Structure 1
Amino acid sequence: MCDILVPLTANAQRIGTEEERKLLDQSIQLCQRLLIEVTLSEATKLVGRAEYEDALPGSIQALRFSLEIYGSGRSELIPCYILLAEANLGLSRFKQAEECLCNANWILIKTRDNDKKVKSILYRGFGRLYAAQGKREEALRQLANDVSPNAALTDTVC
Protein backbone atom coordinates (compact mmCIF):
# COMPACT_ATOMS: atom_id res chain seq x y z
CA MET A 1 0.00 0.00 0.00
CA CYS A 2 2.91 2.35 0.69
CA ASP A 3 3.90 2.15 -2.98
CA ILE A 4 0.45 3.45 -3.93
CA LEU A 5 0.66 6.33 -1.46
CA VAL A 6 3.94 7.76 -2.77
CA PRO A 7 2.67 9.00 -6.14
CA LEU A 8 -0.57 10.18 -4.56
CA THR A 9 1.09 12.30 -1.92
CA ALA A 10 4.06 13.53 -3.99
CA ASN A 11 3.79 16.96 -5.53
CA ALA A 12 4.72 15.76 -8.99
CA GLN A 13 4.70 18.28 -11.77
CA ARG A 14 1.83 17.52 -14.10
CA ILE A 15 2.79 17.73 -17.73
CA GLY A 16 0.83 16.98 -20.86
CA THR A 17 -2.31 18.40 -22.35
CA GLU A 18 -5.11 19.80 -20.24
CA GLU A 19 -7.16 16.68 -20.96
CA GLU A 20 -4.29 14.40 -19.88
CA ARG A 21 -3.88 16.37 -16.67
CA LYS A 22 -7.61 16.15 -16.03
CA LEU A 23 -7.56 12.37 -16.55
CA LEU A 24 -4.57 12.05 -14.23
CA ASP A 25 -6.34 14.11 -11.56
CA GLN A 26 -9.45 11.92 -11.89
CA SER A 27 -7.32 8.80 -11.63
CA ILE A 28 -5.57 10.11 -8.52
CA GLN A 29 -8.91 11.02 -6.95
CA LEU A 30 -10.25 7.53 -7.67
CA CYS A 31 -7.18 6.00 -6.02
CA GLN A 32 -7.66 8.28 -3.03
CA ARG A 33 -11.31 7.24 -2.68
CA LEU A 34 -10.33 3.59 -2.80
CA LEU A 35 -7.62 4.17 -0.22
CA ILE A 36 -10.14 5.97 2.01
CA GLU A 37 -12.33 2.86 1.92
CA VAL A 38 -9.42 0.52 2.59
CA THR A 39 -7.89 2.58 5.39
CA LEU A 40 -11.25 3.12 7.10
CA SER A 41 -12.06 -0.58 6.83
CA GLU A 42 -8.71 -1.68 8.25
CA ALA A 43 -8.76 0.95 10.99
CA THR A 44 -12.28 -0.14 11.96
CA LYS A 45 -11.06 -3.73 12.30
CA LEU A 46 -8.14 -2.58 14.44
CA VAL A 47 -10.40 -0.54 16.72
CA GLY A 48 -12.67 -3.58 17.03
CA ARG A 49 -9.66 -5.60 18.22
CA ALA A 50 -8.68 -2.80 20.66
CA GLU A 51 -5.49 -2.09 18.67
CA TYR A 52 -6.05 1.63 18.95
CA GLU A 53 -2.51 2.84 18.32
CA ASP A 54 -2.36 0.83 15.10
CA ALA A 55 -5.71 2.26 13.97
CA LEU A 56 -4.56 5.89 14.13
CA PRO A 57 -2.38 6.09 10.97
CA GLY A 58 -5.09 4.66 8.72
CA SER A 59 -7.75 6.88 10.28
CA ILE A 60 -5.59 9.97 9.88
CA GLN A 61 -4.76 9.12 6.26
CA ALA A 62 -8.45 8.58 5.47
CA LEU A 63 -9.22 12.00 6.97
CA ARG A 64 -6.43 13.66 4.96
CA PHE A 65 -7.62 12.18 1.67
CA SER A 66 -11.25 12.97 2.53
CA LEU A 67 -10.35 16.59 3.25
CA GLU A 68 -8.44 16.78 -0.02
CA ILE A 69 -11.26 15.28 -2.09
CA TYR A 70 -14.37 16.64 -0.40
CA GLY A 71 -13.14 19.70 1.49
CA SER A 72 -13.72 20.65 5.11
CA GLY A 73 -17.15 20.63 6.66
CA ARG A 74 -18.53 17.85 4.44
CA SER A 75 -20.54 14.91 5.72
CA GLU A 76 -18.08 12.49 4.08
CA LEU A 77 -15.62 13.40 6.86
CA ILE A 78 -17.89 12.20 9.68
CA PRO A 79 -16.83 8.50 9.55
CA CYS A 80 -13.17 9.54 9.72
CA TYR A 81 -13.75 11.76 12.75
CA ILE A 82 -15.80 9.08 14.52
CA LEU A 83 -13.13 6.45 13.95
CA LEU A 84 -10.40 8.80 15.15
CA ALA A 85 -12.49 9.56 18.23
CA GLU A 86 -12.89 5.85 19.00
CA ALA A 87 -9.16 5.20 18.64
CA ASN A 88 -8.25 8.19 20.80
CA LEU A 89 -10.84 7.23 23.41
CA GLY A 90 -9.34 3.74 23.52
CA LEU A 91 -5.95 5.33 24.19
CA SER A 92 -7.46 7.58 26.92
CA ARG A 93 -6.67 10.66 24.86
CA PHE A 94 -9.86 12.37 25.91
CA LYS A 95 -9.14 15.83 24.53
CA GLN A 96 -8.42 14.46 21.04
CA ALA A 97 -11.45 12.15 21.20
CA GLU A 98 -13.72 15.02 22.20
CA GLU A 99 -12.31 17.23 19.45
CA CYS A 100 -13.04 14.55 16.84
CA LEU A 101 -16.57 13.98 18.16
CA CYS A 102 -17.21 17.73 18.20
CA ASN A 103 -15.96 18.05 14.61
CA ALA A 104 -18.28 15.25 13.49
CA ASN A 105 -21.18 16.77 15.43
CA TRP A 106 -20.52 20.23 14.01
CA ILE A 107 -20.54 18.87 10.46
CA LEU A 108 -23.78 17.03 11.18
CA ILE A 109 -25.40 20.24 12.45
CA LYS A 110 -23.91 22.44 9.73
CA THR A 111 -24.97 20.18 6.87
CA ARG A 112 -28.41 19.68 8.44
CA ASP A 113 -27.92 15.97 7.98
CA ASN A 114 -30.67 14.21 9.92
CA ASP A 115 -29.07 10.76 9.84
CA LYS A 116 -30.39 9.07 12.98
CA LYS A 117 -27.71 6.36 12.85
CA VAL A 118 -24.91 8.95 12.89
CA LYS A 119 -26.63 10.88 15.70
CA SER A 120 -26.89 7.66 17.68
CA ILE A 121 -23.19 6.91 17.17
CA LEU A 122 -22.28 10.42 18.29
CA TYR A 123 -24.48 10.25 21.41
CA ARG A 124 -22.87 6.93 22.33
CA GLY A 125 -19.41 8.31 21.62
CA PHE A 126 -19.97 11.36 23.81
CA GLY A 127 -21.53 9.12 26.48
CA ARG A 128 -18.52 6.81 26.51
CA LEU A 129 -16.14 9.78 26.56
CA TYR A 130 -17.87 11.48 29.48
CA ALA A 131 -18.13 8.17 31.37
CA ALA A 132 -14.38 7.59 30.92
CA GLN A 133 -13.75 11.12 32.22
CA GLY A 134 -15.94 10.49 35.26
CA LYS A 135 -18.59 12.99 34.13
CA ARG A 136 -21.44 10.70 35.15
CA GLU A 137 -24.40 13.05 34.69
CA GLU A 138 -23.27 14.20 31.26
CA ALA A 139 -22.56 10.62 30.22
CA LEU A 140 -26.05 9.53 31.30
CA ARG A 141 -27.63 12.44 29.43
CA GLN A 142 -25.82 11.56 26.21
CA LEU A 143 -26.59 7.86 26.50
CA ALA A 144 -30.23 8.64 27.29
CA ASN A 145 -30.39 10.74 24.12
CA ASP A 146 -29.17 7.70 22.21
CA VAL A 147 -31.95 5.43 23.43
CA SER A 148 -34.72 8.00 23.77
CA PRO A 149 -37.34 8.18 21.01
CA ASN A 150 -37.09 11.96 21.43
CA ALA A 151 -33.32 11.98 20.85
CA ALA A 152 -33.80 13.84 17.59
CA LEU A 153 -35.28 16.77 19.55
CA THR A 154 -32.09 17.45 21.51
CA ASP A 155 -28.62 18.31 20.28
CA THR A 156 -25.22 17.50 21.63
CA VAL A 157 -23.46 20.64 22.77
CA CYS A 158 -19.69 20.90 22.41
Structure 2
Amino acid sequence: LPSLTTEEERKHGVEQLVKRQKYIIDLASSMAQKFIFNGKHKTALPAALHALHFSTQVYGSSSVQLVPAYLLLAEACIGAGNLQQASNYLSQAQWIVLRTPDCSGAFQHRLHRGFGLLYVTDGNFDQALYHLAKDIYFASSTFGLKSVEVSGGYFLMANVFFRQNKMDIADSLYAELKPSKQKQFRS
Protein backbone atom coordinates (compact mmCIF):
# COMPACT_ATOMS: atom_id res chain seq x y z
CA LEU A 1 0.00 0.00 0.00
CA PRO A 2 1.28 3.48 -0.75
CA SER A 3 2.11 5.35 2.40
CA LEU A 4 0.64 8.77 2.91
CA THR A 5 3.38 11.06 4.10
CA THR A 6 3.14 14.47 5.59
CA GLU A 7 4.77 17.55 4.12
CA GLU A 8 7.33 17.42 6.92
CA GLU A 9 8.24 13.80 6.09
CA ARG A 10 8.59 14.64 2.38
CA LYS A 11 10.81 17.61 3.21
CA HIS A 12 12.94 15.42 5.48
CA GLY A 13 13.20 12.80 2.72
CA VAL A 14 14.39 15.40 0.20
CA GLU A 15 16.95 16.73 2.69
CA GLN A 16 18.26 13.22 3.27
CA LEU A 17 18.47 12.59 -0.48
CA VAL A 18 20.47 15.79 -1.05
CA LYS A 19 22.73 14.89 1.88
CA ARG A 20 23.43 11.46 0.34
CA GLN A 21 24.04 13.01 -3.09
CA LYS A 22 26.54 15.49 -1.62
CA TYR A 23 28.32 12.60 0.08
CA ILE A 24 28.53 10.79 -3.28
CA ILE A 25 29.92 13.98 -4.89
CA ASP A 26 32.65 14.19 -2.25
CA LEU A 27 33.45 10.49 -2.48
CA ALA A 28 33.53 10.42 -6.29
CA SER A 29 35.64 13.59 -6.42
CA SER A 30 38.17 12.30 -3.93
CA MET A 31 38.40 8.95 -5.73
CA ALA A 32 38.90 10.69 -9.09
CA GLN A 33 41.60 12.89 -7.56
CA LYS A 34 43.29 9.85 -6.03
CA PHE A 35 43.33 8.03 -9.38
CA ILE A 36 44.70 11.12 -11.15
CA PHE A 37 47.41 11.50 -8.52
CA ASN A 38 48.39 7.86 -9.04
CA GLY A 39 48.55 8.31 -12.81
CA LYS A 40 45.41 6.26 -13.50
CA HIS A 41 43.68 8.89 -15.60
CA LYS A 42 41.32 6.60 -17.49
CA THR A 43 40.23 5.01 -14.23
CA ALA A 44 39.47 8.48 -12.84
CA LEU A 45 36.98 9.31 -15.59
CA PRO A 46 33.96 7.33 -14.27
CA ALA A 47 34.37 8.76 -10.77
CA ALA A 48 34.68 12.30 -12.13
CA LEU A 49 31.61 11.74 -14.34
CA HIS A 50 29.64 10.62 -11.28
CA ALA A 51 30.77 13.74 -9.43
CA LEU A 52 29.52 15.87 -12.33
CA HIS A 53 26.23 13.94 -12.58
CA PHE A 54 25.37 14.31 -8.90
CA SER A 55 26.62 17.91 -8.77
CA THR A 56 24.22 18.72 -11.60
CA GLN A 57 21.35 17.05 -9.74
CA VAL A 58 22.09 18.87 -6.48
CA TYR A 59 23.14 22.31 -7.70
CA GLY A 60 21.67 22.67 -11.20
CA SER A 61 23.22 22.66 -14.65
CA SER A 62 24.79 26.12 -14.52
CA SER A 63 26.00 26.29 -10.92
CA VAL A 64 29.56 27.23 -10.08
CA GLN A 65 29.58 24.07 -7.93
CA LEU A 66 30.00 22.07 -11.16
CA VAL A 67 33.40 23.64 -11.87
CA PRO A 68 35.44 21.23 -9.68
CA ALA A 69 33.91 18.21 -11.45
CA TYR A 70 34.61 19.70 -14.89
CA LEU A 71 38.20 20.40 -13.83
CA LEU A 72 38.65 16.82 -12.62
CA LEU A 73 37.28 15.53 -15.90
CA ALA A 74 39.61 17.81 -17.85
CA GLU A 75 42.64 16.75 -15.84
CA ALA A 76 41.77 13.06 -16.30
CA CYS A 77 41.32 13.59 -20.06
CA ILE A 78 44.64 15.44 -20.33
CA GLY A 79 46.40 12.57 -18.59
CA ALA A 80 44.62 10.04 -20.80
CA GLY A 81 45.67 11.94 -23.92
CA ASN A 82 42.18 13.06 -24.93
CA LEU A 83 42.97 16.75 -25.33
CA GLN A 84 39.85 17.65 -27.32
CA GLN A 85 37.55 16.31 -24.61
CA ALA A 86 39.67 18.05 -21.96
CA SER A 87 39.27 21.30 -23.87
CA ASN A 88 35.49 20.79 -23.93
CA TYR A 89 35.34 20.26 -20.17
CA LEU A 90 37.55 23.29 -19.53
CA SER A 91 35.34 25.38 -21.80
CA GLN A 92 32.27 24.29 -19.84
CA ALA A 93 33.96 25.29 -16.59
CA GLN A 94 35.10 28.59 -18.10
CA TRP A 95 31.58 29.37 -19.28
CA ILE A 96 30.23 28.88 -15.75
CA VAL A 97 33.04 30.96 -14.22
CA LEU A 98 32.43 33.79 -16.69
CA ARG A 99 28.72 33.77 -15.88
CA THR A 100 29.40 33.93 -12.13
CA PRO A 101 30.46 37.49 -11.27
CA ASP A 102 31.48 36.65 -7.70
CA CYS A 103 33.33 33.45 -8.61
CA SER A 104 36.08 32.70 -6.13
CA GLY A 105 39.73 33.16 -6.96
CA ALA A 106 40.27 29.50 -6.03
CA PHE A 107 38.04 28.34 -8.88
CA GLN A 108 39.67 30.78 -11.29
CA HIS A 109 43.16 29.66 -10.25
CA ARG A 110 42.23 26.01 -10.83
CA LEU A 111 40.59 26.83 -14.17
CA HIS A 112 43.70 28.60 -15.47
CA ARG A 113 45.90 25.80 -14.11
CA GLY A 114 43.80 23.36 -16.13
CA PHE A 115 44.15 25.42 -19.30
CA GLY A 116 47.88 25.78 -18.63
CA LEU A 117 48.29 22.00 -18.33
CA LEU A 118 46.24 21.47 -21.48
CA TYR A 119 48.37 23.85 -23.52
CA VAL A 120 51.64 22.47 -22.13
CA THR A 121 50.56 18.98 -23.14
CA ASP A 122 49.52 20.28 -26.56
CA GLY A 123 52.87 22.08 -27.00
CA ASN A 124 51.31 25.56 -27.18
CA PHE A 125 53.75 27.16 -24.76
CA ASP A 126 52.64 30.77 -25.28
CA GLN A 127 49.07 29.98 -24.27
CA ALA A 128 50.35 27.78 -21.45
CA LEU A 129 52.42 30.64 -20.04
CA TYR A 130 49.48 33.04 -20.33
CA HIS A 131 47.21 30.74 -18.33
CA LEU A 132 49.87 29.77 -15.81
CA ALA A 133 50.54 33.47 -15.15
CA LYS A 134 46.82 33.95 -14.46
CA ASP A 135 46.91 30.82 -12.31
CA ILE A 136 49.70 32.32 -10.20
CA TYR A 137 47.87 35.65 -9.96
CA PHE A 138 44.61 34.13 -8.70
CA ALA A 139 46.41 31.66 -6.41
CA SER A 140 48.53 34.38 -4.81
CA SER A 141 45.57 36.72 -4.33
CA THR A 142 43.51 33.89 -2.82
CA PHE A 143 46.03 31.84 -0.85
CA GLY A 144 48.99 34.21 -0.37
CA LEU A 145 52.33 34.59 -2.09
CA LYS A 146 54.05 31.76 -0.22
CA SER A 147 51.30 29.17 -0.64
CA VAL A 148 51.74 25.70 -2.11
CA GLU A 149 49.23 26.64 -4.83
CA VAL A 150 51.44 29.53 -5.99
CA SER A 151 54.56 27.36 -5.81
CA GLY A 152 52.88 24.80 -8.04
CA GLY A 153 52.20 27.51 -10.62
CA TYR A 154 55.81 28.68 -10.52
CA PHE A 155 56.99 25.11 -10.92
CA LEU A 156 54.79 24.47 -13.96
CA MET A 157 55.77 27.79 -15.53
CA ALA A 158 59.45 27.06 -14.91
CA ASN A 159 59.02 23.70 -16.64
CA VAL A 160 57.61 25.47 -19.70
CA PHE A 161 60.61 27.79 -19.88
CA PHE A 162 62.88 24.80 -19.35
CA ARG A 163 61.25 23.04 -22.32
CA GLN A 164 61.77 26.22 -24.36
CA ASN A 165 65.45 26.09 -23.38
CA LYS A 166 65.20 29.46 -21.56
CA MET A 167 67.26 28.30 -18.63
CA ASP A 168 67.81 31.70 -16.98
CA ILE A 169 64.06 32.30 -16.67
CA ALA A 170 63.41 28.71 -15.60
CA ASP A 171 66.08 28.94 -12.91
CA SER A 172 64.67 32.19 -11.56
CA LEU A 173 61.22 30.61 -11.27
CA TYR A 174 62.59 27.45 -9.67
CA ALA A 175 64.28 29.76 -7.16
CA GLU A 176 60.83 31.03 -6.11
CA LEU A 177 60.12 27.61 -4.67
CA LYS A 178 60.99 27.07 -1.04
CA PRO A 179 63.56 24.29 -0.52
CA SER A 180 61.00 22.17 1.38
CA LYS A 181 58.55 22.49 -1.51
CA GLN A 182 61.18 21.68 -4.14
CA LYS A 183 61.48 18.17 -2.71
CA GLN A 184 57.73 17.76 -2.99
CA PHE A 185 57.72 18.65 -6.71
CA ARG A 186 60.75 16.57 -7.72
CA SER A 187 59.03 13.24 -7.29
Q: TM-score, normalised by structure 1?
A: 0.78
Work out which of the residue numbers 46, 62, 81 in structure 1 matches 2:35.
46
Work out which of the residue numbers 105, 112, 127 in structure 2 matches 1:138.
127
Distance 1:24 1:61 in 2: 22
- Max Rg structure: 2
Q: Which has the higher contact order (CA 8 A, sep 6+)?
A: 1
Aligned length: 138
The structure-2 alpha-carbon separation of the partners of 1:114 and 1:76, relative to structure 1 and needing over 3 Å to count, comes to: closer
Give the unaligned 5+ runs of structure 2.
142-187
The structure-2 alpha-carbon separation of the partners of 1:130 and 1:29, relative to structure 1 and needing over 3 Å to count, comes to: same
What letter is aligned with 1:58? A
The structure-2 alpha-carbon separation of the partners of 1:23 and 1:49, relative to structure 1 and needing over 3 Å to count, comes to: same
What letter is aligned with 2:19? L
Counterpart in the other structure of 1:75 = 64
Single out whichever of 18-27 and 107-116 deviates more from structure 2.
18-27
Counterpart in the other structure of 2:5 = 17
Counterpart in the other structure of 2:44 = 55
Give the unaligned 5+ runs of structure 1.
1-13, 153-158
Distance 1:127 1:140 in 2: 7
Q: Identity rate of aligned residues, in percent?
A: 36
Residue 90 in structure 1 maps to residue 82 in structure 2: no
1:30, distance to aligned residue in structure 2 (A)? 1.1
The structure-2 alpha-carbon separation of the partners of 1:96 and 1:113, relative to structure 1 and needing over 3 Å to count, comes to: farther
1:74, distance to aligned residue in structure 2 (A)? 0.6
Distance 1:130 1:53 in 2: 20
Contact kept? 2:64, 2:103, Cα under 8 Å: no
Work out which of the residue numbers 6, 15, 18 in structure 2 matches 1:26.
15
Q: Which ranges of 4 or more aligned residues in structure 1 deviate by more than 3 Å?
A: none
CA RMSD of aligned residues (A): 2.1
The structure-2 alpha-carbon separation of the partners of 1:25 and 1:16, relative to structure 1 and needing over 3 Å to count, comes to: farther
1:146, distance to aligned residue in structure 2 (A)? 2.3
Distance 2:96 2:56 in 1: 13
SS at match of 2:62: coil
Residue 126 in structure 1 maps to residue 126 in structure 2: no
Q: Deviations over 1:10-65 (max 9, x none)?
A: xxxx8532523333222211111111111111111111111111111111111111
